[in-house]
Amino acid sequence: MYTKILVPLDGSEMAECVIPYVKWFIKVSHVNEIVFLRVVKPFHMAGGLEAQVIPENREHIEQDAVRLAEEYLGKLAGQFKGRKIKITPVVIVGKPDKTTAEYVGKSDVDLIIMATHGFSGIHRWVRESVADEILHAAQVPVFLVTPQDRPPEK
């Protein structure tokens, strides 16, 4: 049984297609904690132009991104109020695939539920699928969902 589930989210509607599955796992398993993880990419501008931005301003930009990510996760966590499980929103600055895999390694998460576009072959390789990277790096089961999937009724 799964007791602590990690749900990586990137702020997109597509990533949120996992929410019905999270609710389903809560019903059918002994889940006592859900971790919503939002990895915020470090401030970057094409061509290395971020070096032209005053360090103080770069710091403010990243702090704003973290604050917005925290607000986003707070809204999602609100969907789970009233349930007898712990909801833990986590925001980390870093590269999504590597940072997520590192987080899993340091926590006692026993399942990852995340969205994927469902691409395969060369298309997936060219697009550098974050889901694919996490799938290969994670030491726990990964439940992948595409937007076309439908959760079980019961």
Per-residue pLDDT tens digits for 123-137: 444 345 667 777 777
Complete domains list, the chain, with CATH: 4-145 (3.40.50.620)
- The Cα–Cα gap between 43 and 59 comes to 8
pLDDT in tens, 94-115: 988 888 888 988 888 999 999 8
Rounded to 10°, the helix 130-137/96-106 angle is 30
CB atoms within 10 A of CB 37: 25
In the numeric block, which tokens belong to residue 143? Answer: 């439940």
* Total-model pTM: 0.83
